[in-house]
């Protein structure tokens, strides 16, 4: 085979490899997630973050508007401190609430934002105070079983 044709083929081969890597990065690995780098930062303290992870989505009404960048522990209040980056075009009133919900029964957890109605908006670095932590299914089942047991105990006592 001619040398020139080989050079061409090798060039195409290397370009194909680079193209594959770029597509993998953008389409599969979501490297475009750094779009939120320009966003502003909000904090929120939760009693329980469940299985929330960094890079979990932050949503309003199901639409993703940011992502969780850091999860830490507040040593004074013993609450889980979640740091989020929010898209700069979304301004949130200062009485906005945040909850941790689960997508479906087994899906991943995300931060759901309930916008408030106050005229002032959060500035970057502010902390959301109205929060509701993740629902602990174990605890819920425990309570249900306990109340069931208590209920049946009462009814058998009446007989």
Size of the site for another protein (CB under 8 A): 30
Question: Which of the stretches 15-23, 72-80, 115-123, 130-138 binds another protein when contact is defined by CB under 8 A?
Answer: 15-23
Looking at the Cβ atoms of 3 and 89, the one nearer to another protein is 3
x/- string (CB under 8 A) for another protein, residues 50-89? -----xxx--------------------------------
104 interacts with another protein by CB under 8 A? yes
Long-range contacts, 61-69 (Cβ 8 Å, 24+):
65/90, 65/113, 66/36, 66/39, 66/90, 67/33, 67/36, 68/111, 69/41
Looking at the Cβ atoms of 3 and 156, the one nearer to another protein is 3
- Non-local (6+) Cβ contacts of 26 within 8 A are 32
Binding another protein (rule: CB under 8 A), the pick from 75, 76, 106, 153 is: 106
Calculate Rg over the CA atoms of the chain: 24
For 146, half-sphere exposure in the C-beta direction (CA atoms, 13 angstrom radius) is 6
- Non-local (6+) Cβ contacts of 101 within 8 A are 109, 110, 112, 134
**β partners of residue 82:** 44, 71
Q: How far is the CB of 158 from another protein (least distance, A)?
A: 41
Binding site for another protein (CB under 8 A): 1, 3, 6-7, 9-10, 12-14, 16-17, 20-21, 23-25, 27-31, 33, 55-57, 104-108
């Amino acid at each position: 085979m001619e040398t020139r044709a080989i050079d061409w083929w090798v060039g195409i081969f290397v370009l194909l490899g680079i193209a594959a890597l770029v597509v993998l990065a953008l389409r599969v690995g979501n490297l475009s997630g750094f779009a939120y780098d320009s966003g502003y930062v909000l904090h929120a303290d939760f009693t329980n973050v469940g299985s929330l992870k960094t890079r979990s989505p932050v949503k309003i009404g199901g639409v993703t508007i940011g992502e969780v960048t850091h999860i830490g522990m507040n040593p004074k209040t013993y609450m889980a401190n979640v740091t989020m980056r929010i898209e700069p075009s979304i301004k949130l009133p200062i009485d906005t609430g945040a909850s941790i919900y689960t997508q479906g029964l087994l899906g991943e957890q995300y931060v759901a934002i309930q916008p408030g109605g106050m005229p002032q908006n959060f500035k970057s670095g502010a902390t959301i105070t109205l929060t509701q932590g993740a629902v602990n299914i174990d605890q819920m089942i425990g309570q249900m079983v306990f109340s069931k047991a208590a209920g049946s105990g009462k009814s058998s006592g009446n007989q």
